[in-house]
Amino acid sequence: MMPISDEQLIMPVCSIFRRYIRRRGLKFTPERARILDVVLSQEGVFEPDDLYEQMRKVGHRVSKPTIYRALKHLVDAKIVTEVLIDSRQSHYQLIFGREPKAHLVCMDNGKITEFPAHQLTELAQQVCLDNGLDYAGHQLVVYGVDPDADKS
């Protein structure tokens, strides 16, 4: 899949989410539209609270429950995916129109680097097949430590 530019991305994602919402008899509210906007502006991995703070900073009054509820729909709609990097905090990432990425986490400073991992998809699909499941996604996280950090 060829990556597409931001301008190419934003319009279709909006329509796709609107269609997804309406097909389910749900409602495309201004809050959901604005949340999708902020999500589309995120670089890499983000937390629900990031969205809350950023929206608040530009004067958008959205409550946290609304953000959590919208994220659930965005995940269902396969526009966003949950990224499991920290067991004590939800992390999400935009996936629509993007190649699947794996994550390298530096355990010293928490910095997250993305890298492509094409090879994995085939392996992951085969594993599902072997176990009688339909493939629904996969995630690779690699952990590293800074070689220059002091060892305790």
Instruction: For residue 81, give the H/E element and its range.
Output: strand 80-82
Give me the 49-78 binding string for DNA, x by CB under 7 A, dash otherwise: x-----------xxxxxx-xxx-x------
26 binds a second copy (CB under 8 A): no
Q: How many Å apart are CA 31 and CA 70, to the nearest integer?
A: 9
151 binds DNA (CB under 7 A): no
- State which amino acid sits at residue 83: V
Identity of the residue, 9 or 139, whose beta carbon is nearer to a second copy in the bound complex: 139
Identity of the residue, 41 or 109, whose beta carbon is nearer to a second copy in the bound complex: 109
Identity of the residue, 19 or 111, whose beta carbon is nearer to DNA in the bound complex: 19
Cα 15 off chain centre by: 18
91 binds a second copy (CB under 8 A): yes
Please name the residues in contact with 26: beta carbons below 8 A apart, sequence gap of 6 or more.
Answer: 73
